[in-house]
Structure 1
Amino acid sequence: MSHRTIRYNLLSVSILATLFFIINNMAAHLASPTRYTIDKTAAVYSAYAYRIDTTNNLTLDQFINEPQALIKQPFSTINWQLNTQDYWLQIKLDNKQHTDIDIFVHFDNPMLDSLTVYQLDDSGKLLKTFKLGDKEQDLSLFEYSVPHITATLAKQTSSQFVIKIATVGISKTPINIYGKNEFKDLLRSQTAIWGIFVGVLVMAALYNLVLFFGIRDRVYLIYIGYIVSALLLMGSVLGFGFYIWPLSWQLFLNQHVIFSNYAIAFFTVAFCTMFLRYHKDNCYLYKLSIAFLSLLLLLAILSFFMLEYHSSKIFFTMMVPLYLLCIAMIYKKLKSGFRWAKFYVMSWIPLIIGAAVQPLELTGFIPYSFATRHLFLVAILCEIVLMAMALADRVRYQREKALYHATHTQQTNLLNQAKLKQAYMSLTNTQRQTNLCLVKIGQFNSLMSILNPTQSSKIVITIAKALESHLAKQRQFINLELGLDTSPKVADLGGGIIAFISTKLQPITTLYDELATIVNLLPKQYQVSGLDLQLHYTISATEPVNQDGFDVWLQRGYLNLSHKHKPNGTQQPSVAMNLTLAAALQNAIRQDKLAIYLQPIINLKTGQATGAEALLRWPSADHNLNIEQLIQLAESTGIINELTLWVIDKACQNIALLNQAGFDQHTISVNLSAKNLSIHKLTEKIENTILKYSISAQQLKFELTEFALIKQPSEMTHFVNELNRLGSKVVLDDFGTGYSSLNYLVNYSFSTIKVDKSFIRDLTHNDTNQVIVKTAIDMAHNLGMNITIEGIEEQTTESLLIEMGADQAQGYFYSKAIPFEQYRHWLTSHSQ
């Protein structure tokens, strides 16, 4: 453990000790005032008696004139019940002192409907009548929240108080008689606890409201609901609700206090469900939870129309299945490894203790005291603090999980491009040498056509582990991440490409030789499903040039892979061969020996072809070059602009011919690269070509990839806006293969996005890709864009995309890219 960690741990322990010291001091000053009643602080003797009136017809005269019916026992022996019966209590006080004494009689139940106190002299003559309770009008907030009366005991005389309690709710009413100073101590202690409770809960609610606005997680709203319901319940039970709600509201809440009980029960179950993420599972416990919440809500509404003593019995019965349900949900998650929920489990301990003590105190199994009276309040306070810690722990876990997903690929769990970029930035900031090394599994895309995603991911993992073991022996290859268990040096860039960084100062040719030696040690075969796959690799090494930054550095590494650096150190094609091919390509452009093939884009709602993508071909070439190599050749030799203008001209010509054939709404899409921005007055030349063939600008679309956008973002923004003003639509191609697509959707005015075919492969069996594609569709529609899906090769995929709401589709299922004449015949035959 580091010295810094030890210092922080010591600091946290010191803070905790300070907090305990503060709490202990406050508790000492809030010593239970119920121990200092008048008979313990003055020469006053008391006698108690009571009578329970089940008929509710007893009068004061009958109570006085029938002493034989009284039970002369302490009030602690009264059998308080949830029933419609009146309680008549008698307190006789004998002041033996030689001075008058002011007394305060405190009735510790602010939920009583009606409480009448008759003060009599020693001969039984009525001196004064006091009226308290929720149904009394014109009482002060103090009398509502702390029901009490004040009286004076004359010296050397006796007095008696007859108390009538009539309520349909909780009838138990602890009665204590205090002197003036002791009553002040009671109020001080009670107010301090109320203030702490309300203050902590309000601050917790406000803080979690801020968190909700920042995180947008519904669990914070449920947590706030629990806090508010706790304020409702304890405000009624203890009386401080009269100070936080309007008087009419609190009187209403006191009359329907069971609703507050249901509210706190409802939010308890809801928080348990949401916090443990059962809404993500949709299992039987989640469905049971929803059903139970619906039942609680129904019973809460019915409680408004029932007498309190009936609804309270139903509520206490419901507590048994509530605890069982919550325990089952917690146990299942803990069993499955939800260790981050430890604080939430701990929060149930004070709740269970407090919830048990309160009914035991109300029913007389536990003696009444100031501590037991407020224990449930303290339990809720502790629970809410622990719940807040649980939420913080949950956020920490989610942040760590999100960080892991942000820096690791989902399929292989290897470090991804983000971690590679972080290492690059760290090295460049310290001005260290950074050579990007790439190893690509040969023909990986072809392998993916015969393997499922899991199998292809296992190949990458196997190669990455083998490469990692060889790189670990050489210090020039840096660790991309430092962990307790592993220190990986490689990152998975997708597509069978594995990246790592060398920091050794050496000629690039020497680095290629070293990479070739390492790659020659990698597996040459991989067995899957009884098939021995032959593996070969391509390598690339790249140095940063002119502070181009990570994106260009990485793109240069991808480009170098196309040079086919093989493990034996040979490189093909050579520079001379590139120049020869470039000359032949330029000649083919000028002699119109190239061609564009059209691949239809299908409207999934109508089934008709509404457009096509123009794909470059070189039919007469005797070179085995694919389209990617052809474009890379044009870009690297500077003839890409000439080639692009030729493609635009040919596309407009084909649009004009389609218009003559009656397809005047048909569009053709042309691909553009960042290099094309160097074409002088490109937008003007596009407009002139459109006018040359007398076509609509809306029929000509342009497709841009993310790399084209990151190369020259400001110029590309201006260019896209110019195309939009011209009337041509701009399509974001290969959406999802980059790392910042969302920024481009906001900053550029695209009409359509095209989802890369890598997400469509095995779509019907890949739940993850289904979520990604569906999200992209919904996002595009919400942003007012259309969406085109590439790579459709089968009916089931098309049906799934139609169900998801995709707009257009493109792929071999409809047609491969074909020459114009064939395409026109295809279009005619498929439009009938």
Structure 2
Amino acid sequence: MNNKALKYHFVSFFILATLFFIITTLSTHLASPTRYTIDKTAPVYTHTAYRIDDTESLTLKEFLSEPKKLIEQPFEYIEWDLAAKDYWLKLDLENRQSKAIDLFIHFDNPMVDYLTLFELDADQKLIKKTRLGDKVTGLNLFQYSTPHALLTLQANEQTTLVVKIDTVGISKTPIKIYGKNEFQHLIRSQVGIWGIFIGVLIMAALYNLVLFFGIRDRVYLIYIGYIISALLLMGSVLGFGFYLWPLSWQLFFNEHVVFSNYAIAFFTVAFCTMFLRYHKDNCRLYKLSISFLALLFSFSLISFFMLEYHSSKIFFALMVPLYILCICMIYKKLVSGFRWAKFYVMSWVPLIIGAAVQPLELTGFIPYSFATRHLFLIAILCEIVLMAMALADRVRYQREKALYHATHSQQTKLLNQAMLKQAYMRMINEHRNANLCLLKIEQFNALMSILNPTQSSHIITTVAKSLEHQLSKQRQFISLESSLDTAPKVADLGNGILAFVSTKIQPQDELNEELNTLCKQLPKQYQISGLDLQLYYRFSITEPVENDGFDSWLQRGYLGLSQKHQNTDTTAPHIDMDLSLAVSLQHAIRSNSLAIYLQPIVNLRTGTIVGAEALLRWPSADKHLDIEQLILLAERTGLINELSLWVIEKACQTVAKLNQQGYYDHTISVNLSAKNLAIPKLIEKIENSILKHGVSAAQLKFELTEFALIKNHTDMVRFVNELNKLGSQVILDDFGTGYSSLNYLVNYSFSTIKVDKSFILDLTNNETHQVIVKTAIDMAHNLDMNITVEGIEDQTTEQLLIKMGADQGQGFYYSKAIPFDEYLSLIATHSK
């Protein structure tokens, strides 16, 4: 972590400590007022007893006349239940001091339907009757939100209070008696917490509404729905809802408080689903969550027509699968690496604690206090704050993700052209010169036709990783993204092209040498699905130009690549092949399952067979397999070099077999492509194969197409000269189909020209082709070259070519390509 980031982290921790100090100070002023009830602050003594009426028919007179049926215990031991019952509570008060005292009796359940307070004198005669509850009309907001009654107890006076609780909802009603000051402190603490809760939730809702209008993400609306549901629920449970809504509305919310529970549960599941982006996955958990949301919605509507104590039991039963579902969704995302889910996971901790404490307090497992009474409210407050942090973290992550996608390749996750441009602009601002270096994986577009996107991307990342390792050893190659610890130096420009930048001022020859060395260190093979792909590279260097723009800088780099080697990927014919066929081909090469068939070449003057062209065949493969497409597949997968070496080896072996039969003047022609030049020490390997089988180099001929010459003129001239020095003859194949045939005849030392069959198939009927062929024959003879004509299919064409002076012929008129044994029989027949 850099110093700047560390400084900001220190500031954030300081702010957090300050806020924590404020919260702690506020908490001390809002200390639990339930610790200061009248029995602890004044000489007022109480005695409690209660009775539960399952019949709901008990009257005050009957209650007072049957004292033996009372349970003489504190009210904390009452077994409150969600059922149709009346609860009668008796409270005897005795003021043992010599002055009167005002007492406030607080009934901490603003959702109770009917609460009747009977005040009796020492003779059990009714003095005063007070009615409270949300079904009672005529009360003020304070009495609805905080049910209470004022009682003045004279000096040394005894009085009896009887409380009747009749409700269809939560029946538990903690009763606390306070002095005037203590009651005021209770109200102050209660209103303070309510104000904080309401203020935070309203601000959170407004802020997220602004975010929704800015981002248009539905999850913010669901979050606002959760906040409003929390206000509805806690407004009914704690009573502050009477100050948020019109009185008739809040009375309605109290009557149907279970609906508010369903609402907050509904938005909890919906938020979990949307926040964790399950709606994008459409997986089983998403479908399950949608079904569960429909179930919650259905039961929430049913709750309007059920008694509260029945619908509450159904709701609490549904909470178990709700928690299980949400935990499963959270867990699945966590294990899949959802970085921004941590705050959301933390938000469930206070919710689970608060949701557990509330029913435990209502059922009496946890003693009632001001803190436990408001713990669920605090838990929701903490949860909403953490959820807001989770949403903010989600926005930050999405922003970083958008920035990452803008600066990185989607497939390879490497830096892209945008980061290369950024580095270029940085160097311009710093007035630094730089050389753009582009490295291309040869025939990458061709490879993509048989590999899936993942496999193609993995090839690039493998090469880029190796290149990155080599560049890291040299400081002249700059980092394109210096803000990261990894400081990558390589960018992916697509189509198998990688870019990096050198800032060292040096002659281009030196940089060329360095890049050549780098290329030699890169992977030569890539193994995939059992196939060893051969990888070859080319590079270009673009020097800086004054007042040059990035686009021009990059364009000149691309031009350098195309000038170094003409890119033919886009002109190659389409083939419908897959990787399994390439794997089978490689296995066939290595298991010697391929074969070379021989098509005879005939001396047109004598009619004898003087040689043959070696043509590849795959006897065990599908009979409909096109050999030309097979050759193209080999080129695209890098198998062409391995295949060509196999053919050369088999050709030498065939020449040796012919020599054993006494045909020492017989020659075998082998086809080579421009890609074969990439075979390391190719001439040396040809010579080794010739020596291995003990044949003469003159018996091995090599056919090169004009297209191969176009691709790499300089290297091909050197290659032809080396073959001639070895003693082998070189044939210019497919003569007439290229672009610069006459130029090639001057620059290359060819022994023979082979006229393409496209000029021969209709030779007898096409006068133009007759002129072309005759001209080629005369030109070859004048240049002291032989000429071979392929595509002869009838005697008339043969006689016409003999008349024109052609030296050798090849075609179906003599024979198609046949196995070696049949070829021997054919030679013997022609020799007789």
TM range (shorter): 0.5 to 0.7
Aligned to 1:351: 351
Contact 1:38–1:179 (8 Å) recurs in 2: yes
CA distance in structure 1 between the aligned counterparts of 2:38 and 2:524, rounded to whole angstroms: 95
Partner of 2:119: 119
**Deviates further, 172-181 or 385-394:** 385-394
The residue aligned with 1:230 is 230
- The change in CA–CA distance for 1:33 and 1:530 in structure 2 (over 3 A counts) is closer
The aligned residue for residue 427 of structure 2 is: 427
Checking the alignment, whether the CA contact within 8 Å between 1:541 and 1:557 is kept in structure 2 is yes
Shift of 1:183: 0.5
SS in 1 for 2:564: coil
DSSP-derived class of the 2:23 partner: helix
Partner residue in 2 for 1:437: 437
Alignment partners' CA distance in 2, 1:60 and 1:108: 22
Aligned partner of 2:316 in structure 1 is: 316
Are the counterparts in 2 of residues 428 and 434 from structure 1 also a CA contact under 8 Å? no
Residue in structure 2 matched with residue 174 of structure 1 by the alignment? 174
Aligned match of 2:109: 109
Q: Distance in 2 between matches of 1:526 and 1:53?
A: 84
Q: Is the 8 A contact 1:285 1:329 kept in 2?
A: yes
Partner SS state of residue 90, structure 1: strand
CA contact (8 A) 1:563 1:573 kept: no
Runs of 4+ aligned structure 1 residues displaced above 6 Å come to: 565-568
**TM-score, normalising length: structure 1:** 0.65
Q: Matches of 1:215 and 1:623 in 2, distance apart?
A: 61
Answer yes or no: is 1:215 the counterpart of 2:240.
Answer: no
Q: Using a 3 Å threshold, how does the CA distance of structure 1 residues 458 and 313 change in structure 2: closer, same or farther?
A: closer
Aligned partner of 2:198 in structure 1 is 198
In terms of mean alpha carbon deviation, does 178-187 or 342-351 score higher?
342-351
Residue of structure 2 equivalent to 1:88: 88
Letter in 2 for 1:173: T
Per the TM alignment, residue 132 of structure 1 is displaced from its structure 2 partner at its CA by 1.2
Q: Which residue of 2 aligns with 1:273?
A: 273
Q: Distance in 1 between matches of 2:440 and 2:536?
A: 9
Residue aligning to 1:98: 98
Shift of 1:301: 0.8
2:387 aligned residue:
387
CA, structure 1 residues 469+55, in 2 after alignment: closer, same or farther (shift >3 Å)? Answer: closer
Q: Distance in 2 between matches of 1:57 and 1:395?
A: 60
Helix, strand or coil at the partner of 1:138 = coil
Q: Please, which moves more after superposition, 223-232 or 482-491?
A: 482-491
- The answer to whether the Cα contact below 8 Å between 1:407 and 1:416 also exists between their aligned partners in 2 is yes
**Deviation (angstroms), 1:31:** 1.4
3-state DSSP class of the match of 1:88? strand
Report the secondary structure of 1:563's partner residue. Answer: helix
Aligned to 1:668: none
- What do residues 61-120 of structure 1 show as CA deviations (whole Å, max 9, x unaligned)? 333333343333322222211111222222222222322222111110000111122223
What's the CA shift string for 1:190-214, capped at 9, x where partnerless? 1111111111122222222222233
Shift of 1:289: 1.6
Letter in 2 for 1:391: L
How far apart in 2 are the matches of 1:530 and 1:312? Answer: 63
User: Is the CA contact 1:134–1:254 (under 8 Å) kept in the aligned structure 2?
Assistant: yes
CA distance in 1 between partners of 2:565 and 2:239 (Å): 82
**For the Cα contact (< 8 Å) 1:86–1:165, is it kept in 2?**
yes
Alignment map for 1:407-418 (pairs within 5 Å): 407-418=407-418
What's 1:53 paired with?
Answer: 53
Would the aligned equivalents of 1:353 and 1:379 in 2 still touch at CA under 8 Å? yes
Cα distance in 1 between the residues matched to 2:429 and 2:61: 95
**Structure 1 equivalent of residue 368 of structure 2:** 368
Q: 1:623 to 1:445 in 2, by over 3 A?
A: farther
1:505 Cα offset (Å): 2.8
Query: Does the Cα contact within 8 Å between 1:103 and 1:180 map onto a contact in 2?
Result: yes
Q: What letter matches 1:320 in structure 2? A: V
Q: Name the counterpart of 2:377.
A: 377
1:90 corresponds to which letter in structure 2? Answer: K
Aligned equivalents of 1:411, 1:199: Cα separation in 2: 47
SS at match of 1:301: helix
CA shift in 2, pair 1:133/1:493, >3 Å = same
Cα distance in 1, alignment partners of residues 565 and 739 from structure 2: 23
Quickly say closer, same or farther: Cα 1:501–1:3, change in 2 above 3 A.
Answer: closer
Q: Distance in 2 between matches of 1:528 and 1:158?
A: 95
Of the structure 1 ranges 425-434 and 440-449, higher mean CA displacement relative to structure 2 is found in 440-449
Residue 553 of structure 2 corresponds to which residue in structure 1? 553
Structure 1 partner of 2:44? 44
CA shift, 1:312, in A, is 0.6
- Report the counterpart of residue 26 of structure 1 in structure 2: 26
Measure the CA separation in 2 of the matches of 1:50 and 1:457: 78
2 CA distance for matches of 1:531 and 1:55? Answer: 85
Cα separation, 2, equivalents of 1:82 and 1:402: 52
Do 1:107 and 1:146's aligned partners in 2 also have CA atoms closer than 8 Å?
Answer: yes
Distance change (3 Å), C-alpha of 1:545 and 1:99: same
Instruction: Look up the equivalent residue of 1:19 and give its one-letter code.
Output: L
Task: Show structure 2 runs of 5+ residues with no match.
Answer: 567-676, 679-708, 712-735, 742-832
Identify which range, 25-34 or 299-308, moves more after superposition: 25-34
What amino acid is aligned across from residue 401 of structure 2 in structure 1?
K
Q: TM-score, normalised by structure 2?
A: 0.65
- SS of corresponding position for 2:165: strand
Aligned 1:577-656 pairs, distance under 5 A: 622=739
Deviations 1:656-706 (A, max 9, x none): xxxxxxxxxxxxxxxxxxxxxxxxxxxxxxxxxxxxxxxxxxxxxxxxxxx
Alignment partner, residue 287 of structure 1: 287
Number of corresponding residues: 578
Q: How does 1:422-501 map to 2 (within 5 A)?
A: 422-482=422-482, 486-501=486-501
1:485 deviates by: 6.1
User: Which of 1 and 2 has greater Rg?
Assistant: 2
| Matching residue of 1:145 | 145
Taking the aligned partners of 2:152 and 2:367, their CA distance within structure 1 comes to 29
Distance 1:188 1:96 in 2: 29
1:546 deviation in Å?
5.0
TM-superposition CA deviations, 1:471-491 (whole Å, max 9, x none): 333322111124766332111
- Stretch moving more, 359-368 or 559-568: 559-568
Equivalent position of 1:404 in the other structure: 404
2:446, 2:329 → 1: CA distance? 46
The secondary structure found in structure 1 opposite 2:563 is coil
The alpha-carbon distance between structure 1 residues 529 and 94, as it changes in their structure 2 partners (threshold 3 A), is: closer
Q: 1:573 to 1:439 in 2, by over 3 A?
A: farther
Question: Structure 1 residue 513: deviation in Å?
Answer: 5.2
Q: Aligned partners of 1:165, 1:488: CA distance in 2, in Å?
A: 73
SS across alignment from 1:562 = helix
Q: Cα gap change, 1:457/1:323 in structure 2, threshold over 3 Å: closer, same or farther?
A: closer
Which shifted more, 165-174 or 52-61?
52-61
3-state secondary structure, aligned to 1:412? coil
CA displacement 1:457-501 (0-9 Å, x = unmatched):
333334333433333333221111247663321111011221111
Task: Look up the equivalent residue of 2:50 and give its one-letter code.
Answer: Y
**Mapped contact 1:80–1:363 kept (Cα < 8 A):** yes
**Per-residue Cα deviation, 1:336-361 (whole angstroms, up to 9, x for no partner):** 33354232222222222211111111
Q: 1:164: Cα distance to partner?
A: 1.7
| Alpha-carbon displacement from aligned partner over 1:17-66 (angstroms, at most 9, x marks no partner) | 32222222211111111121222222222222222222222223333333
Give the Å deviation of 1:329: 2.3
Q: 2:526, 2:71 → 1: CA distance?
A: 93
**Gap change, CA 1:190 and 1:526, over 3 Å in 2:** closer
Aligned to 2:65: 65
1:242 partnered with 2:242: yes
1:534 offset after TM fit, Å? 5.3
Kindly report the root-mean-square deviation, in angstroms, between the aligned alpha carbons of the 2 structures: 2.9
- Rate the CA distance shift 1:489–1:66 in 2: closer, same or farther, 3 A: same
Q: Which runs of 5+ in 1 are unaligned?
A: 575-618, 625-832
Alignment deviations for residues 260-284 of structure 1 (CA, whole Å, 9 cap, x no partner):
1111111222222222332233222
The alignment partner of 1:40 has SS state of: helix
**Alpha-carbon distance between aligned partners in 1 of 2:204 and 2:251, rounded to the nearest angstrom:** 26
| Distance change >3 Å, CA 317–CA 528, structure 1 → 2 | closer
User: How many percent of aligned residue pairs carry the same amino acid?
Assistant: 71
**What secondary structure sits across from 2:447 in the alignment?**
helix
Change (3 A) 1:168 1:515: same
Offset of residue 398 of structure 1: 3.3
